[in-house]
């Protein structure tokens, strides 16, 4: 590990048109020293060629490239982390960018606050053709710890935080999931009680674009639903290990989301995932809430009609109520 070095890990799959902007946003940082590790995740277009060109054109040899068969963003980030030499780690999706003073502000903050393991700041969400001046998600709020807020939702984007490498080493490797792997990872760090440092400035931009995104079609793709189900089981375990009880509002919200996901898995013919998530939703709700009429009737219906049919009927009912 090289002291004060910031390593930026960029997984990329078939995004040659977007990758150059992401890399440029790191090279344009006011802070040094830095390194960039591009992990080509089995691209089939000219992304790998562009990545190698970016690496060879860098006069200070700050850009390197790893190629792997397509295994998803979690595996790609882990591959990059194993190669990273920095005291600080930045993960960056290939369709997003960092603002120029991000590393300057965040490294300074972590240096002045050694009790903090992660620094985050405001992130701007940029839809196609427009930029929102309001901080995205909850990045405009000063939050002291990852939990309990992270249980309700992943309240920052991948570009937002800067991590101490030591914290990531304690958390362990990224999992080989293709959906919600980032949420599970941050919740695993949250389980450790890591304190957060806040920069009250915009530090990154998350960009919407018309191309493929792994986050799309999550409720209709059985493969993604399986990974989401696995991630949610782990997220629950991390929250419980962090001391969150069924009485906190975030856990009650998470229970409702588990129940919804159970219905969606049933509708996608994922019987075991649907059954397991239903049981987990009851556990997250607590013993008294788990005796509620909604859980009781759904459980009876699933035992009679089967998890796929009752899931399809419930999802149809959910759509009609919107």
Geometric angle at alpha carbon 223, from 93 and 319, rounded to 5°: 95
Contacts of 86 (CB under 8 A, 6+ apart): 1, 2, 5, 6, 7, 34, 35, 165
Instruction: Please enumerate in sequence order all residues whose Cβ is within 8 A of that of 303, keeping only pairs 6 or more positions apart, or say none.
Output: none
What string of pLDDT tens digits covers the 322 residues of the chain?
899 999 999 999 999 889 999 999 999 999 999 999 999 999 999 898 888 888 887 667 699 999 999 999 999 999 999 999 999 999 999 999 999 999 999 999 999 999 999 999 999 998 876 777 899 999 999 999 999 999 999 999 999 999 999 999 999 999 999 999 999 999 999 999 999 999 999 999 999 876 555 554 556 789 999 999 999 999 999 999 999 999 999 999 999 999 999 999 999 999 999 999 999 999 999 999 999 999 999 999 999 999 999 999 999 988 887 6
Residues 6+ apart with CB under 8 A from 188: 171, 172, 234, 238
Question: Over the chain, what HEC string results?
Answer: CEEEEEEEEEEECCCHHHHHHHHHHHHCCCCCCEEEEEEEECCCCCHHHHHHHHHHCCCCCCEEEEEECCCCHHHHHHHHHHHCCEEEEEECCCCCEECCCHHHHHHHHHHHCCCEEEEEEEEEEEECCEEEEEECCCCCCCCCECCCHHHHCCCCCCCCCEEEHHHHHHHCCCCCCCCCHHHHHHHHHHCCCCEEEEEEEEEEEEECCCCCCCCCCCCCCHHHHHHHHHHHHHHHHHHHHCCCCCCCHHHHHHHHHHHHHHHHHHHCCCHHHHHHHHHHHHHHHCCCHHHCHHHHHHHHHHHHHCHHHHHHHHHHHHHHHC
CATH superfamily of 2-207: Spore Coat Polysaccharide Biosynthesis Protein SpsA; Chain A (3.90.550.10)
Q: For position 215, what pLDDT does the model report?
A: 52
What span, in angstroms and rounded, lies between the C-alpha atoms of 259 and 231?
Answer: 15
Phi, psi for 294 (deg, rounded to 5): -65, -45
Match 């009679």 to its residue by tokens. Answer: 304
User: For residue 205, what are its two tokens?
Assistant: 């931009």
Domain extents for the chain?
A: 2-207, 222-321
270 sits in the region (left: phi over 0; alpha: psi -120 to 50; else beta) called beta
* Confidence at residue 213, expressed as pLDDT on a 0 to 100 scale: 52
Phi, psi values for residue 121, rounded to 5°:
-145, -165
Pairing of strands 195-207, 116-127: parallel
CB 76 within 8 A of CB 68: yes
Token look-up 């409720």 returns: 219
Q: What is the pLDDT of residue 208?
A: 84
């Amino acid at each position: 590990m090289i002291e004060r070095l910031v390593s930026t890990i960029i997984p990329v799959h078939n995004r040659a048109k977007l990758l150059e902007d992401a890399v440029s946003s790191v090279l344009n940082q006011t802070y040094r020293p830095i390194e960039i590790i591009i992990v080509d995740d089995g691209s089939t277009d000219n992304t790998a060629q562009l990545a190698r060109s970016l690496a060879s054109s860098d006069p200070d040899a700050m850009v390197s490239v790893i190629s792997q068969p397509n295994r998803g963003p979690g595996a790609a980030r882990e591959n990059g982390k194993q190669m990273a030499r920095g005291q600080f780690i930045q993960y960056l999706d290939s369709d997003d960018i960092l603002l120029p003073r991000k590393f300057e502000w965040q490294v300074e903050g972590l240096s002045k606050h050694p009790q903090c393991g992660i620094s985050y700041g405001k992130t701007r969400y940029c839809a196609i053709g427009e930029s929102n001046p309001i901080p995205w998600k909850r990045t405009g709020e000063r939050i002291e710890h990852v939990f309990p807020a992270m249980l309700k939702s992943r309240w920052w984007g991948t570009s937002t935080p800067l991590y101490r490498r030591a914290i990531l080493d304690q958390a362990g490797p990224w999992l080989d999931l293709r959906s919600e792997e980032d949420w599970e990872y941050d919740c695993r760090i949250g389980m450790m009680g890591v304190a957060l440092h806040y920069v009250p400035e915009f530090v990154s931009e998350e960009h919407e674009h018309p191309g493929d995104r792994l986050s799309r079609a999550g409720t209709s793709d059985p493969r993604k639903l399986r990974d989401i189900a696995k991630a949610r089981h782990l997220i629950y375990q991390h929250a419980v290990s962090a001391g969150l009880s069924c009485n906190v509002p975030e856990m009650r919200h998470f229970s409702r989301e588990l129940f919804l996901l159970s219905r969606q898995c049933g509708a996608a013919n994922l019987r075991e995932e649907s059954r397991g998530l239903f049981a987990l939703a009851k556990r997250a709700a607590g013993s008294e809430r788990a005796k509620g009429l909604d859980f009781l009737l759904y459980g009876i219906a699933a035992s009679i009609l089967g998890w796929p049919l009752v899931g399809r009927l419930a999802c149809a009912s959910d759509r009609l109520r919107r």
